[in-house]
A and B are shown apart, each in its own frame.
Chain A
Amino acid sequence: KAGVTQTPRYLIKTRGQQVTLSCSPISGHRSVSWYQQTPGQGLQFLFEYFSETQRNKGNFPGRFSGRQFSNSRSEMNVSTLELGDSALYLCASSSSGSYGYTFGSGTRLTVV
């Protein structure tokens, strides 16, 4: 079966702009989590969506937001981009009752 698909793979944006990243989970998976990975901070949890509802949220400013659609696809949005938002953004999908998380290949965002 198809894995977790993240688009785009690479993105270059200018400070102050906004960006939307997309994540399509494995078919049947209703939970989608987002993580930010930077060399300095490592992997940090952004938020998790389950059945179109945000279930958990990490410690990020309000410029980071997300949503999930009825087909479980999820998007995350970052407004007013800062240089420090440059990172690899990973999403993971999982199914209820399963301990496992399957990750996508990530979107590498560079803010210039």
Chain B
Amino acid sequence: AQKITQTQPGMFVQEKEAVTLDCTYDTSDPSYGLFWYKQPSSGEMIFLIYQGSYDQQNATEGRYSLNFQKARKSANLVISASQLGDSAMYFCAMREGEAGNNRKLIWGLGTSLAVNP
């Protein structure tokens, strides 16, 4: 079974508008971490935002915020005021267990975001 599901293979958004990229996850471990990465055509994975399972508040990093709904096991990424440079693949990933001994990330298949001028 998929542990990370990203149901939107492709998304379009108008420049300056907000967009939400969906991510649902599946784990029985009470301790886990959720990540969003951006991958432009150059290939490098760029870290955007992190949410720990015990974090009480939704994570925010500049124009990025994470809508964390623990009971629904969803961790949607919200990008506000989209820019042309936001056009890229976006990946949701999960680390199960504590970060100390487990550095393995499990990945979704990604969402391709295109920002239209």
Contact = CB atoms under 8 A, between A and B. Distances in A.
A46 to B, nearest CB: 10
A33 B42 CA distance: 20
Interface stretch (B12-20, B68-76, B78-86, B98-106): B98-106
Contact of A43 (B44, B52, B100, B107): B107
Contacts of A90: 43, 45
A110 interface: no
Contacts, number: 62
Interface in A72-112: 88, 90, 92, 94, 96-106, 108
A58 to B, nearest CB: 7
B25 interface: no
Given A42-B108, A100-B50, A105 B42 contact: yes
Give the interface size bracket for B toward A: 20 to 34
B21 to A, nearest CB: 15
A14 interface: no
A82 to B, nearest CB: 22
Contacts of A92: 45, 103, 105
Given A31-B103, A48-B103, A99-B33, A42 B45 contact: no
A55 interface: yes
B47 A102 contact: yes
A105 B107 CA distance: 17
Contact of A88 (B43, B99, B101, B106): B43
6 contacts: A42-B107, A42-B108, A48-B103, A101-B105, A103-B47, A104-B44
Given A33-B103, A42-B108, A43-B93, 4 more contacts: A44-B107, A48-B104, A99-B50, A103-B37
